[in-house]
Amino acid sequence: MSDERATDPVLHLIRERVSTERFDPQRDLSEQQIRELIEDATCAPSSFNIQHWRFVVVRRPADKELLKAAAYGQSVVTEAAVTFIVLGDTRGEEKLPEIMQVAVERGGMPQGKADAWVRMARKIYADERIARDEAIRSCSLAAMVMMLSAAARGWTTCALSGFDSEQVRRGFDIDERYEPVMLLCAGHPAGPDERPKPRLSVDDVLAFDRGRSF
Question: Does 116 participate in binding a second copy (rule CB under 8 A)?
Answer: no
CA end-to-end distance (rounded Å), the chain: 24
Residues 144-173 that bind a second copy (CB under 8 A): 144-145, 147-149, 151-153, 159, 161-162, 169, 172-173
Under a CB-based contact definition with an 8 Å cutoff, are residues 36 and 67 in contact? no
For a second copy, the closer of residues 191 and 196 by Cβ is 196
CA quadruple 55, 57, 62, 65: dihedral sign: positive
For a second copy, the closer of residues 122 and 195 by Cβ is 195
For a second copy, the closer of residues 3 and 26 by Cβ is 3
Residue 93 CA to residue 21 CA, distance in Å, equals 36
Closest CA to 149 of 192, 186, 204: 186
Contact with a second copy (CB under 8 A): which of 25, 27, 45, 115?
45
Residue 88 CA to residue 31 CA, distance in Å, equals 22
- Our CA angle for 39, 43, 45, nearest 5°, is 145
| Residue range at the interface with a second copy (CB under 8 A); choices 21-29, 42-50, 111-119, 185-193 | 42-50
Binding mask of the shown chain, residues 19 to 38, with x at each position contacting a second copy by CB under 8 A = x-----------xx-xxx-x
**Residues contacting 36, CB < 8 A, separation 6+:** none
Question: Does 178 participate in binding a second copy (rule CB under 8 A)?
Answer: yes
Report the nearest approach of a second copy to the CB of residue 35 (Å).
5
Residues 94-113 that bind a second copy (CB under 8 A): 95, 99, 102-103, 106-108
Question: Does 87 participate in binding a second copy (rule CB under 8 A)?
Answer: yes
